[in-house]
Amino acid sequence: MSLRISALEYVQEVQNGNISAEDYVSKTIEQINNVDENLHAFLQINSEAIDNARQIDKKIKSGKNVGACFGMPISIKDNICIKDSKTTCASNMLENFIAPYDATVISKLKQQDAIFVGKTNLDEFAMGLTTEFSAFGPSRNPWNLDYVPGGSSGGSAVSVSAFECLASLGSDTGGSVRNPASFCGVVGFKPTYGLISRFGLISYANSIEQIGPIARTVKDTAFILNMIAGLDPNDNTTIDNSNQDYLLGIDSGIEGKKIGIIKEMIGEGIDSAVMSATKNAISKFQGLGAVCEEVSLDMVKYSVAAYYTITATEAGSNLARYDNLRYGYDFPVEGYEFNSYISKARRKFGPEVTRRMILGGFVPSSGHAGKYFLKALKVKQKLTQEIDQLFKKYDFLIAPTVPVLPFKIGEKIDDPVALFLVDINTVTANLTGKPAISVPFEISNGLPIGIQIFANSNDDKSLLQAARALESTVKLPEVPI
């Protein structure tokens, strides 16, 4: 039995009785034990995973109703709460935080008999795009261990890429699902804002972030989305998707569709390999019967600045609750008054989080808000107007997910400004609330390149169809793991 199958193939095999959940989950755990010492995708392994799989096998044998996952091993980014287990956000601040409840996505997957093999590594509080800002050490790219896996959902992308699970849930605030998916050669999807409940996702910049699936195929992505999307009374921002089946008609193709290539995302600073991959993708789309032309999204040049201003503001507020009073780490209060205590307690935040919190205290403050925060909101608004205008004419927009190839661990960690520019192609989907997906497309010098497709709000289903169409033209080499 091979681990190298898709999630849907797994379901088929278990249903046909060719493999058991226990077999597959045991092999998965074995794989984790073999490779994760080097990859560091996981912060925690679920010691009951194999027992859970055995229970599900029993259920299958007894002819009882079994959920759609049939014991499928799934990994979860460690900023999503699973009841009675540690949820650390890869931060020393929450090192010992045990969530007293399940995130909505978790309860939905539990109902479908998924098995959570473990919690995956991330940049502390999802702030970063290399997973190097994890308080517990970086993850490594399975394609080349010297390279970063992308971030902030680096652990999730690595675990899917390295067969340590069949699928994963990450979170995407400015590209945190799509960026590591691109760097690790897997599929990463950021849905329309509100399609997936954020209840139980530890907030970083709540007005723009979404939980998103990471999987080995587009169909697996649609399969996971089917189980976790839709209205949730616990998240007032969720939207009613009328129980759409995202798998249904996923092979419809894109003949006759109009695709815009975003000029500002293939401009200055783009790696030549990425540029050539993008050109290849365009001809593939044309070969599939789509019409492609270059379009302009003028506000993109301000998008990263706006993104950091808005996320820092929201982060400053969302992370203010970590004052170590109600939960946290062991640090007695005796001898402190409130303000001196929390300022001392908050020193457990890592450097990147601290940087953004300081920024978040400044940009929306009175006297400066007009110059920074309110201006950023204006950029967000104008960018949304621009992209809405484009979607009147085009079905999809495309661009490379990241304009550069994966880089070496440590290469850019001391250069926050260089790192920020890696976000340029992904933040637009978050600022505008649009769905976007990264599809693995080429390997250059042994490193993956992803192509990103955008669609209009609530067109998630046709977006997956376009992604599937592109994917069908691609055959990547095996991960060297």
Partner 1 sequence: MTKIGLEIHCQLTNLESKLFCPCKANYREYEPNTNICPICIGLPGSLPRLNQKAIEKASMIAMALNCSTPEKIAFFRKNYFYPDLPKNFQITQLNIYGDTSIGGLGYTMVGEKKIRITRVQLEEDPGRLIYEGSSSKNQTTLVDYNRAGTPLVEIVTEPDFENPKQVREFLNILSDLLQNLGVSDPSLEGAMRADANVSIEGGNKVEIKNIGSFHDLEKAIHFEITRQESLYSRNIPIVQETRHWDDRRKITISARSKEEELDYRYFLEGDIPWIRIDKDTQERLQKEMPESISSKKDRYVSKYGIPAQVADVLSSDKFYSDLFEQSHNEKNAKEIANIITTDLMGLVDTREKREQSKFTSKHLEELADAIQSGKITRNSAKNALYEIVKTGKDLTQIIAELDLGNVSDESEIEKIINEVISQEPQAVEQAKKNPQTINYLVGKVMQKTKGKADPKLTLDLLKNKIK
Residues carrying an active site annotation = 77, 152, 176
Single out the residue of 11, 60, 69, 94 in contact with partner 1 (rule: CB under 8 A).
94
Task: State residue 394 phi and psi, 5-degree precision.
Answer: -115, 145
Please, what's the b/e burial string for 290-318 (b: 16 or more CB within 10 A of its CB; e: otherwise)?
bebeebebebbebbbebbbbbbbbbbbbb
The pair of structure tokens assigned to 346 is 């908050």
CA atoms within 13 A on the CB side of 150: 39
Of the candidate spans 172-180, 205-213, 412-420, 456-464, the one that interacts with partner 1 by CB under 8 A turns out to be 205-213
Of the candidate spans 8-16, 97-105, 184-192, 267-275, the one that interacts with partner 1 by CB under 8 A turns out to be 97-105
Q: Is the CB of 240 or the CB of 414 nearer to partner 1?
A: 240
Give the footprint of partner 1 on residues 344-373 (CB under 8 A): 361, 364-366, 369, 373
* Cβ–Cβ < 8 Å for 202, 81: yes
Instruction: Tell me if 236 contacts partner 1 by CB under 8 A.
Output: yes
Give the footprint of partner 1 on residues 208-227 (CB under 8 A): 208
Instruction: Tell me if 235 contacts partner 1 by CB under 8 A.
Output: yes
Q: Is the CB of 80 or the CB of 281 nearer to partner 1?
A: 80
Single out the residue of 150, 316, 350, 400 in contact with partner 1 (rule: CB under 8 A).
316
The pair of structure tokens assigned to 25 is 């989950």
Instruction: Tell me if 99 contacts partner 1 by CB under 8 A.
Output: yes
DSSP codes joined into one string, 363-432: TTSTTTTTTTHHHHHHHHHHHHHHHHHHHHH-SEEEEESSSS---BTTSSTT-HHHHHHTTTTTHHHHHH
Cα end-to-end distance, the chain, whole Å: 17
Of the candidate spans 142-150, 192-200, 283-291, 431-439, the one that interacts with partner 1 by CB under 8 A turns out to be 192-200
For the bound state, the minimum distance from the C-beta of residue 202 to partner 1, rounded and expressed in Å, comes to 4
Q: Is the CB of 327 or the CB of 420 nearer to partner 1?
A: 327
Instruction: Tell me if 326 contacts partner 1 by CB under 8 A.
Output: yes
Distance CA 313, CA 374 (A): 11
State the residue for tokens 């959920």. 67
Of the candidate spans 89-97, 268-276, 292-300, 391-399, the one that interacts with partner 1 by CB under 8 A turns out to be 89-97
Of the candidate spans 12-20, 249-257, 310-318, 421-429, the one that interacts with partner 1 by CB under 8 A turns out to be 310-318
For the bound state, the minimum distance from the C-beta of residue 366 to partner 1, rounded and expressed in Å, comes to 5
Kindly report the CA angle at 204 between 106 and 153, in degrees rounded to 5? 60
Single-letter amino acid, residue 41? A
Which among 152, 103, 107 has a CA at the least distance from the CA of 126? 152
Single out the residue of 29, 60, 201, 297 in contact with partner 1 (rule: CB under 8 A).
201
Instruction: Tell me if 203 contacts partner 1 by CB under 8 A.
Output: yes
Task: State residue 162 phi and psi, 5-degree precision.
Answer: -95, 20
Instruction: Tell me if 320 contacts partner 1 by CB under 8 A.
Output: yes
For the bound state, the minimum distance from the C-beta of residue 356 to partner 1, rounded and expressed in Å, comes to 14
CA atoms within 13 A on the CB side of 68: 12
Instruction: Tell me if 187 contacts partner 1 by CB under 8 A.
Output: no
Helix runs in 288-323, H state only: 300-318
Q: Is the CB of 55 or the CB of 354 nearer to partner 1?
A: 354
* Cβ–Cβ < 8 Å for 168, 160: yes
Single out the residue of 38, 111, 234, 283 in contact with partner 1 (rule: CB under 8 A).
234
Distances in whole angstroms, Cα of residue 45 to Cα of each of 24, 48, 270, 287: 16, 9, 38, 44
For the bound state, the minimum distance from the C-beta of residue 207 to partner 1, rounded and expressed in Å, comes to 3
Single out the residue of 124, 172, 264, 314 in contact with partner 1 (rule: CB under 8 A).
314
Q: Is the CB of 63 or the CB of 100 nearer to partner 1?
A: 100
Distances in whole angstroms, Cα of residue 178 to Cα of each of 84, 258, 272: 29, 23, 20
Q: What are the strands, taking DSSP E only, across 35-123? A: 42-45, 73-77, 115-120
Instruction: Tell me if 119 contacts partner 1 by CB under 8 A.
Output: no
Instruction: Tell me if 342 contacts partner 1 by CB under 8 A.
Output: yes
Question: How many chain residues are in contact with partner 1, going by CB under 8 A?
Answer: 44
For the bound state, the minimum distance from the C-beta of residue 46 to partner 1, rounded and expressed in Å, comes to 19
Distance CA 49, CA 139 (A): 22
Q: Is the CB of 203 or the CB of 221 nearer to partner 1?
A: 203
For partner 1, what does the binding mask look like between residues 42 and 81, x meaning CB under 8 A? Answer: --------------------------------------xx
Task: State residue 74 phi and psi, 5-degree precision.
Answer: -125, 140
Of the candidate spans 95-103, 107-115, 152-160, 222-230, the one that interacts with partner 1 by CB under 8 A turns out to be 95-103
User: In the chain, what's the furthest Cα-to-Cα distance?
Assistant: 71
The pair of structure tokens assigned to 269 is 């600073």
Q: Please give the residue ranges that form the binding site for partner 1 (CB under 8 A).
A: 80-81, 87, 89, 94, 97, 99-101, 103, 198-203, 206-208, 233-237, 313-314, 316-317, 320-323, 325-327, 338-339, 342, 361, 364-366, 369, 373
